[in-house]
């Protein structure tokens, strides 16, 4: 934050001091870039493929539990109290196991998604730096500003460059 303030102060002083030539400033919306970059779609497909087998397996487990519950409710009148208790305990344990499996799957997906986002953020930063040098920008700021004119928004330029 201090660095940003120092940079902004330097830029503002550049506007005040006539000895400085025109300062070129750009603005990027990182969330839009991360959402619309071609790499995001590729990454999502990759993650979907990577976790498809585990997701399908979990769905089958849940469907199996639901079928067992349905069968139990149909047959509960004909079962002894001991059998009812045994089946109830088994169903509860199966549900706990399924919830644990689901939580582990969700955590693994989230971890991989964060890894993919970190990789994409690195590419985005490199692309922004490359564009800044090519287009001779003095300063490019991220979204956390009070106001930025659409004229200095280079988000679409960054997305287009990421697609190359």
pLDDT tens for each residue of 113-130: 999 999 999 999 999 999
pLDDT at residue number 150 = 87
Domain ranges of the chain: 21-162
Three-class DSSP category at 140: strand
pLDDT at residue number 20 = 53
Cα–Cα distance for residue pair 74/49, rounded to 1 Å: 38
9 phi and psi, to 5 degrees? -60, -40
Query: pTM value?
Result: 0.71
Q: What is the pLDDT of residues 54-81, one digit of tens each?
A: 999 999 999 999 999 999 899 888 888 8
DSSP 133: H
pLDDT at residue number 164 = 78
From the first residue on, what is the mean pLDDT of each consecutive set of 10 residues in the chain (164 residues)?
52 53 88 92 95 97 96 88 92 97 98 95 94 93 84 90 85
pLDDT at residue number 77 = 86
Spatial CA neighbour of 87 closest among 61, 57, 103, 67: 67
The DSSP annotation for 8-65 comes to: HHHHHHHHH-TTS-PPPEEE--HHHHHHHSHHHHHHHHHHHHHHHHHHHHHHHHHHHH
Domain 21-162: CATH superfamily is Skp domain (3.30.910.20)
């Amino acid at each position: 934050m201090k660095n940003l303030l120092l940079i902004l102060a330097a830029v503002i002083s550049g506007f005040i001091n006539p000895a400085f030539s025109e300062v070129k400033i750009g603005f990027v919306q990182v969330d839009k870039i991360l959402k619309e970059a071609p790499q995001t779609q590729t990454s999502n497909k990759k993650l979907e493929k990577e976790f498809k087998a585990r997701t399908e397996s979990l769905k089958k487990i849940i469907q199996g539990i639901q079928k067992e519950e349905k069968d139990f409710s149909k047959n509960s009148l004909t079962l002894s109290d001991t059998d009812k208790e045994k089946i109830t305990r088994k169903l509860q344990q199966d549900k706990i196991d399924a919830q644990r499996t689901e939580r582990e799957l969700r955590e693994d997906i989230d971890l991989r998604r964060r890894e993919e986002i970190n990789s994409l953020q690195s590419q985005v930063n490199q692309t922004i730096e490359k564009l800044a040098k090519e287009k001779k920008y003095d300063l490019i700021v991220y979204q956390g500003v009070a106001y930025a004119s659409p004229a200095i928004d280079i988000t679409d330029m960054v997305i287009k460059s990421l697609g190359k």
